[in-house]
Structure 1
């Protein structure tokens, strides 16, 4: 191999010299022809070096050395000379060095080597990337509880961050103003800002006016005393636009002409009413000295961890990985792979072992680091904090020092739901505790205290008592437990524990206990992919489909194949596959099944189970809503729907309490109130990145997989940064440079390359509402062409009338065709619709009926609110399943005929309230009454559900109650 590589190096371009590698953040010298070629393709040595790097691949398009060599040989026959494999690898390393992008090495407390990318480098690259920096929100936004769709509108960012982790400053008229520093307004009033936030596109501050109650004066000077722990909603604060800020703390004069900063002694006091407990707050804010005159950018991140297979084969090669995105990006950008950042992975280290290095790096980032902001065209100081941590339930449990929920007597990480012994789960008190959320909440500080206390018990009393108290408290630190249990049997572990206890005791515990700004109880939101789709929906679907006969399954599959998918955001579904493989389908399949469930198999379940399914189908559109119009109304509706579903489920059989995910559903409103729509903290975007991780794994040499995969993702990060026009900043010299114009054109003019790098230009920029509608390129069959509506020909005889599209989608009125009316250079768009009438509520589907009328109308597209999904009322008309359809294979209709639903009386339709697309519009049009569960109803629910359960035999003591809490299948991971 070495000889072949040396030969390849000799065949390739001239080896790089030390001088060539030393760009020092500036454009290369252009003297001579070779220098001009370098400048044209900077920071690459030549065009072929860039081409070779692109061919070598990234993310999904990685190729092996042998495939690259084959492509190189083929292109050589066309007189195109690609550099050798080793030359490209050297080029990539040179560019990583140029960008100061390094792979950090660390050893876990147990000696396991781990490799990670530095979060500060990745965040700095995003701020220097013109495609990203302009889209990031650096301040939280107060939306008054309406139109919430992004993390910057979250309650935590706005109100829940500790003072040290909030946005610290703003710039007004060239001056820098900081939190907790007196500011004089244009009106001459003096205030102290406590929070910065955006409101209606204007930067504001929540301020406390300095009055006689706050500022007292004596012969020695003045004292400023404020109340302790002032909250965002404190009645003493008022919202002031920062544009009114005039003088900073150093310019404010008192009535006697003396400077306030001199008279107050450069400090103010934070008091709780007890003088001995007053806390001194320095003036100026310490961040002012750290910033050294630079603007401070506040960039919170969303952290994610998961375990996935590193193999394509069925053999599971478990890799624990960490990723993050910038919380300040809106979801249409943060959901793109381009903006998802890899941190670390290992197939030998546990999640807490890997997190040792990551937590240390993030804590350093929290203290601030230098970066270049391309939107400001100058360097800035950047601070960050983990806004929330996303994972599945077992991973959340390990990170929060709580037991695995499936087999634990303390199955909830958010509240104190508990039972003394597992057999006591089958009891009325525990059933009541399970459903009567909220129970007393867990406290993160209490968890930290209990963790330290448990280790002290192990060291001073016994390991047996350590285990007893751990079970009793519902606290389990995986790092600490391993040390305590292995030390008596393993001398090396015992010696390592002694060294750490003496020199670095914090490494004996879960690293997340010391992650700044992180609350393990509140900042691990209920994750709806695993809790709802791969939890509740999976449980019910497997249970009910599994009970069907082969004939019934064929009918359900036929109904699924005949489903009208218009307005559901998916084109078609393979019903036969879904039903046959119901036990191994993935998240997106469960989404499809859920939206179809009321119309495909309600005739085959009991009336009791039908009510449960209908309640679930009414609940899930609320859960997966991507935008919340009114938070208070939404949370009230969500709680009512959750209560109804849990009520019906537990009433049918209280044995469902053995599924902790049912209980976690009750905590979902808390997570949404804190962070926004559940789609923001769903792990779907990160789970889809598992395929990229798997590609990196199979292209490593398996000797150092953690390091190899870190290098692969670092190569991808630096390549996309350079070709995207990122500004290369040299902190030591202050010089900046960018990739050459030719290099940037490769990316900016090449859409397939953008998609290959995970960037979708179509969704990266949202089209403004007033720009809709706009024409798209489309073709129309001759059979779909219609005569122009009489409304047009009669009133606009001189205008150009053309049919744009033949439509058949069901909306409130059925849209038959879309028309453009062109007068001069202006085109207006109209839809010809056939009207529907709202009818009664169907007793079987418990959804609104729509009846088609004979009236038609032509309406302007601006009057269209959106599309809704309608399904035929097959139950009322007993639509038969007949072998009349044809399977389409290889784009051809084949025989024999396959079962298909033949609809009778096609004008009788049902509004599909199970649709996850445009759920709010479906609810508004349907206008259905909502059953409210009263306190007395819960008594009946518990009694009847427990009575049913009591008739069943007891489960074995060691039975795992959560069927997917330990080993998830590969199919469940790759859902996208």
Structure 2
């Protein structure tokens, strides 16, 4: 392997002539001087050990003279190494643990692991530039020097070739596609990616193939959102299973009972009631019954789908198990640059909805499908949908069952930000009159100012349906065939329906319609012969023109049905994917219902952002510094957030991101008062904090009670916004869409399940792949790169694949153990081994942590602060023998009236507790009640890890006997509310008569609304006049001071 920094020289004629002439010194020209030979010492650490070290512990690549080790090494064409004196150098890596086997294939896989560190891919072999990319050649050479001790290290080209072979063998193909609009892009199909989950032993054990019926809701399979054959139970009854479910960890069938007339041999299906039967009670399936001599005949009143006695899937399955997997497709526009310069790409990722949320929320389980700077999300969803079309089944190897299976794919939910969800539902967006993707709420500004129109914004309206949306799209296409853009605009304005795919065809149709109308009506040389009749005048002539336009309309509509030509199958109607949004035509998917309110963009970057802006816009520097000092004094133990940088939040208060708003939502209420905000803003911070804590529930025990509390919190937030700015809900769609989150939670489970944070985090991987590509073919190159990474993850995880001979194989034991034994690689690939967490709440407790614990005396649940954790010196197990000394606090039975939070009062008592700690929580000191002051120059300033001589202001706590249990904390919010008395956490309505208040708000906007619109018109007019005057002045100056004629 030649070092890439000298690559151009090493392939030059001068170098080859020098080698042929045995002049190795000449071969390294034009190096001006020869450094003394370097002694190569045996490596002390293996490569795996080196990468496990921190950055500070990494060994320097330089020797004592400041030169790299490899600078004095010469390499001939047979990959032999020589020092500057032409002595061959043999490298040693010390004593290897166990025998070394020179397996070239496994060695290739081990080396390529470094290709994926820091999510970094270094290009394809055919694009490799030896003069610019020295990274991989240096790594491979370093591994040969420091690790392998063998000449069997492959060349860089061989490495890339092997990678491509393995990716092909694992059956991940990056395929080209052309959309109905003519754009081209590449895709790694979901079927191939999901097949890896079935064959990966680290993933397969977590796949839950059936929905689960349970009181607690913590996964999508628990929520409200399943073969249809006759079978016999062990007690002789007959049933037809319609859905497989899990109840109390046991597989069950939800089924219709079937009555059998033994005389006539007729089966009567009783569809009035669905019964639940454990699968252990099933005895004979349909094939068994036929084999035993049963003649399967159903009564005339039986459902139509029983016309086929055998499930049609049996013929496809051919005895193989068949499953259905649900996926979470995500799409958004993402910049391909790390810098602020926007480099637009439209991406699609997927996640496996059959996996637990604790797995799906890891980067390891996010799968890249496609990207394109040109194709829209609708176009890419069109291709994606090929994998989950009805009747399409995919092959996989199930490593748990140890046999081949078939699986189908169904989209379950469509999380995204609001603009993307508007596109996915063919909605015109927030600037349209009927702006909601869920319902038909909205209207013109005047309609929203009426009592009824205004109140309608505070609740869900009449729901939209895919069928109705498709009908509106068809009417727009028919209008386009008349060549009138205004007619299309009227329909889109009146309905709020605007489809990106249909828009492409409508633009073409308008142009064609106008050309044909000109040709047949207005152009005297080519016009319709009927119009040349001089006797045709007046209304008759107008009617004929209308008739000709309708003929053109029918011709163009017939033409568009045949487009695109390569997809036309003699169908006489508009088609999803070809003419409008494919998501409107997928069986089992309703984009209007299945595009839920997403908490990152709607709550953190919506309500929290609006509230933060309204609170801080009037602050001067003194108020900002005061808040920053108070905020920095917050305790963040039990919040699961990064250390606060309060001065940064104030300095860049208008440029914050989601993680900043998440911290502010939980802590701001403790540090603002009448000097920093109004009463209504304070109340809104309180209502917003209560709502946020409910929305970040990881598990819901009582869905009905939870939704009732959530409804109250949502209504309080919207009502207080009405007090602050009655017109806000008219112009901010994120306020109205919040009313739909109650139904979203009922349909899909806790809101964190359809949050997009993990997909947004995964964008960092995409960006690095984009930055490190040559940008010539981003859709292809990035897809190939990430397909290779998927294959690498699969093989180092111990996954199975089918080799060329058709055998199911997996990598050797050293490769299979590479991921499980290398914590650094796990971190790089986004894998978290949840088996490491031992406690029920999975919390890490330390000195100073606030906890709920069971009293050793009364066995009651109490609160306290950990004073000390003591481990006996003779203990061999840190956890089992630890003694926790807790400073106990008593929870007041009455919530603080100002914060509406439980008060914790010091009991002046220490308890010795065994590890019976339930969970931790966050508590904040009552600085207002204790009169804590901000003292200038109270503590030193930290810069980096150093304490400087500079001083800064800090809050000095007056006493430590009174604290608040932080009810706005997101971490363990559900456990806190399950533990404390219900009256301390039950939300209450802000208004007793909401309707009356909304009417008052509507009266205000009927005054302020016209005034704002008049001001807008006047401002626009003034702007036009100013631009016109500037244009005239410029014209005068260019003509020498004289006005143009």
Q: TM-score, normalised by structure 2?
A: 0.76
Q: Distance in 2 between matches of 1:591 and 1:912?
A: 14
Q: Does 1:700 align with 2:748?
A: no
Report the secondary structure of 1:841's partner residue: coil
More divergent stretch after superposition (623-632 vs 741-750): 741-750
Q: Distance in 1 between matches of 2:141 and 2:287?
A: 70
Q: Deviations over 1:91-116 (max 9, x none)?
A: 21111121122111111222211100
Query: Which is higher, the Rg of structure 1 or of structure 2?
Result: 2
Map of 1:45 onto structure 2: 105
Q: Distance in 2 between matches of 1:673 and 1:482?
A: 37
Q: Distance in 2 between matches of 1:403 and 1:125?
A: 38
The correspondence for 1:186, drawn from 207, 212, 234, is: 234
Q: Distance in 2 between matches of 1:84 and 1:868?
A: 55
Map of 2:428 onto structure 1: 403
Q: Does 1:240 align with 2:277?
A: yes
Q: Deviations over 1:178-222 (max 9, x none)?
A: x2211111111111111110011110011222137xx6975xx63
**8 Å CA contact 1:773, 1:861 repeated in 2:** no
**8 Å CA contact 2:167, 2:791 repeated in 1:** yes
Q: Does 1:500 align with 2:563?
A: yes
Map of 2:753 onto structure 1: 680
Q: Distance in 2 between matches of 1:652 and 1:202?
A: 52
More divergent stretch after superposition (703-712 vs 312-321): 312-321
Q: Distance in 2 between matches of 1:396 and 1:13?
A: 57
The correspondence for 1:342, drawn from 357, 368, 371, is: 368
Residues 150 and 959 of structure 1: CA distance in aligned 2, closer, same or farther (over 3 Å): farther
Q: Distance in 2 between matches of 1:928 and 1:759?
A: 36
Q: Distance in 2 between matches of 1:83 and 1:92?
A: 12
Q: Deviations over 1:282-327 (max 9, x none)?
A: 1111112221111112211111111111012221001110011111
Q: Deviations over 1:41-74 (max 9, x none)?
A: 5xx6351x23442222266233463322444566
Q: Distance in 2 between matches of 1:958 and 1:289?
A: 68
Q: Does 1:66 align with 2:134?
A: yes
The correspondence for 1:56, drawn from 112, 115, 127, is: 115
Q: Distance in 1 between matches of 2:76 and 2:462?
A: 68
**8 Å CA contact 2:121, 2:785 repeated in 1:** no
Q: Distance in 1 between matches of 2:165 and 2:361?
A: 30
Report the secondary structure of 1:348's partner residue: coil
- Output aligned runs, 1:346-385, within 5 Å: 346-363=372-389, 367-385=392-410
Q: Distance in 1 between matches of 2:970 and 2:336?
A: 32
More divergent stretch after superposition (56-65 vs 750-759): 56-65
Q: Does 1:465 align with 2:519?
A: no
Map of 2:255 onto structure 1: 207
Q: Distance in 2 between matches of 1:141 and 1:905?
A: 50
**8 Å CA contact 2:843, 2:920 repeated in 1:** no
- Output aligned runs, 1:269-348, within 5 Å: 270-271=302-303, 280-348=306-374
Report the secondary structure of 2:952's partner residue: strand
Q: Which structure 1 residue ranges, 5 or more long, are not aligned?
A: 16-36, 157-165, 167-178, 228-234, 272-277, 785-790, 793-809, 961-976
Report the secondary structure of 2:920's partner residue: coil
Map of 2:864 onto structure 1: 813
Map of 2:507 onto structure 1: 485
Q: Distance in 2 between matches of 1:825 and 1:712?
A: 47
**8 Å CA contact 1:268, 1:283 repeated in 2:** no
The correspondence for 1:838, drawn from 891, 895, 903, is: 891
Report the secondary structure of 2:334's partner residue: strand
> Could you say which structure has the greater relative contact order, defined with CA pairs below 8 angstroms and 6 or more residues apart?
1
**8 Å CA contact 1:332, 1:764 repeated in 2:** no
**8 Å CA contact 1:873, 1:909 repeated in 2:** yes
The correspondence for 1:925, drawn from 957, 961, 980, is: 980
Map of 1:887 onto structure 2: 941
Cα offset, 1:512, TM superposition:
1.6
Q: Distance in 1 between matches of 2:624 and 2:773?
A: 44
Q: Which structure 2 residue ranges, 5 or more long, are not aligned?
A: 17-74, 80-98, 124-132, 516-555, 569-573, 849-854, 1020-1045
Q: Distance in 2 between matches of 1:854 and 1:715?
A: 61
Residues 736 and 599 of structure 1: CA distance in aligned 2, closer, same or farther (over 3 Å): same
Q: Does 1:553 align with 2:553?
A: no
Map of 1:728 onto structure 2: 801
Q: Distance in 2 between matches of 1:330 and 1:816?
A: 36
Cα offset, 1:912, TM superposition:
1.2
Q: TM-score, normalised by structure 1?
A: 0.81
**8 Å CA contact 1:477, 1:510 repeated in 2:** yes
Cα offset, 1:741, TM superposition:
1.6
The correspondence for 1:541, drawn from 597, 608, 612, is: 612
Residues 132 and 115 of structure 1: CA distance in aligned 2, closer, same or farther (over 3 Å): same
Map of 1:455 onto structure 2: 477
Aligned pair count reads 853
Residues 866 and 484 of structure 1: CA distance in aligned 2, closer, same or farther (over 3 Å): same
**8 Å CA contact 1:137, 1:328 repeated in 2:** yes
Cα offset, 1:605, TM superposition:
0.8
The correspondence for 1:259, drawn from 271, 294, 300, is: 294
Map of 1:431 onto structure 2: 454
Residues 89 and 843 of structure 1: CA distance in aligned 2, closer, same or farther (over 3 Å): same
Map of 2:691 onto structure 1: 619
Q: Does 1:947 align with 2:1015?
A: no
Q: Deviations over 1:916-940 (max 9, x none)?
A: 1111243343714532367732222
**8 Å CA contact 1:479, 1:510 repeated in 2:** yes
Map of 1:798 onto structure 2: none
Residues 773 and 575 of structure 1: CA distance in aligned 2, closer, same or farther (over 3 Å): closer
**8 Å CA contact 2:257, 2:270 repeated in 1:** no
Q: Deviations over 1:9-62 (max 9, x none)?
A: x999999xxxxxxxxxxxxxxxxxxxxx99975xx6351x23442222266233
Q: Deviations over 1:134-156 (max 9, x none)?
A: 1110011000xx32211221221
- Cα RMSD (Å) of the superposition? 3.5
Residues 12 and 707 of structure 1: CA distance in aligned 2, closer, same or farther (over 3 Å): farther
Map of 1:222 onto structure 2: 266
Q: Does 1:659 align with 2:712?
A: no
**8 Å CA contact 1:342, 1:713 repeated in 2:** yes
Q: Does 1:871 align with 2:931?
A: no
**8 Å CA contact 1:13, 1:83 repeated in 2:** no
Cα offset, 1:499, TM superposition:
4.6
Q: Distance in 2 between matches of 1:302 and 1:595?
A: 29
Report the secondary structure of 1:566's partner residue: coil
Residues 61 and 87 of structure 1: CA distance in aligned 2, closer, same or farther (over 3 Å): same
Q: Deviations over 1:713-768 (max 9, x none)?
A: 001001111111111125x964211111222233232111122122122x266647
